[in-house]
Amino acid sequence: MGIPSGIGKLDRERMTAILRATQHTISIAEVAKILGVSNTNASKILARWAAKGWIARIKEGLYIPVPLESTTADIPLEDPWVIAEKIYHPCYIGGWSAAEHWGLTEQIFRTIVLFTTKKLKNHSPEIRTTHFLIHTVSPQAMFGFKVLWRGQTKVSVSDPSRTILDFLVNPAFGGGIRSVVDMFKNYLKSEYKNIPLLIDYAARLNNGAVFKRLGFLLEQNASTEMEAMELCRSKLTAGKVKLDPALNADKLITRWRLWVPEDWEK
């Protein structure tokens, strides 16, 4: 990346060193280590550069470089997945964002779905024009993902089975149950289909609603998976849940203890 014009020799040398040693983001701690200065001085340097539009702040103490050709510091994120990892670690990309990655949907979703163990006040932040939908999970729920390299940064994304599991926990992560069903059908037809793994994940998560939704969807879309459906029945909890909490549901499927819209029962 080039160095912005209107920058003095010392700042030019400093910024060159920082850009060579960092990837995608620049933190106070990194600047302090690279330049051999205190965190306080590093913070002041970054704040000054941001005020001049040479870098852009994405959160307290974390910045991104501004390309030389940019006429504004209000730039989009180069790689939102990397930024998410930097800000919300430990976390993983999931929901419809993971479904897009694995080819389970052709829909284009502009919001990135993220799962993290961090407790947040804002679960739908906008960072440099990129929108995120963030869900907090327990540390015990951090399983079932693959690690990808994005440049020199490791980013976790839910594997196809965990992606489907998260849809069954809350269909909103897949854009609603109708979209989830389409992705579930694609999963069943794909090389990633692994019903035993999906059931194992569901058991590890210990969420009763998942088995009710999974059993019903298997019955409707994979009726030959008798063993899997029996396993789901054996895991049913006493309560009744909606197929999709966002939809009106006036028909109770007693065998699955599941409320569904009238037109969903075959």
For residues 246 and 162, membership in a common domain is answered with yes
118 with 153, same domain: the answer is yes
**Residue 44: which domain range?**
9-65
pLDDT of 118:
95
CB count, 10 Å around CB of 4? 20
Q: How far apart are CA 77 and CA 173, in angstroms?
A: 22
- Residue 152 neighbours by CB distance under 10 Å: 9
pLDDT tens for 101-156 read 999 999 989 999 999 999 999 999 998 888 999 999 999 999 999 999 987 789 99
Do 173 and 241 have their domain in common? Answer: yes
Q: What is the mean pLDDT of residues 94-99?
A: 98
pLDDT surpassing 50 at residue 2: no
Q: What is the pLDDT of residues 218-249, one digit of tens each?
A: 999 999 999 999 999 999 999 999 999 999 98
Give CA separation, 145 vs 31, 149, 174, 196, 197, in Å. 32, 13, 17, 16, 12
148, part of any domain: yes
Residues 158 and 35 in one domain: no
pLDDT value for 1:
45
Same domain, 212 and 251: yes
Shared-domain flag, residues 106 and 238? yes
CATH number of the domain within which 56 lies: 1.10.10.10
Q: Are residues 177 and 45 in the same domain?
A: no
Cis amide prior to 90 (ω within 30 degrees) = yes
* pLDDT tens sequence across 168-209: 999 999 999 999 999 999 999 999 999 999 999 999 998 999
In a domain, residue 16? The reply is yes
70 versus 98: the higher-pLDDT residue is 98
Q: Is residue 70 part of a domain?
A: no
Residue 4, domain member (yes or no)? no
**Can you give the pTM of this predicted structure?**
0.82
SS3 (DSSP) at 202:
helix
Residues 94 and 226 in one domain: yes
Do 33 and 93 have their domain in common?
no
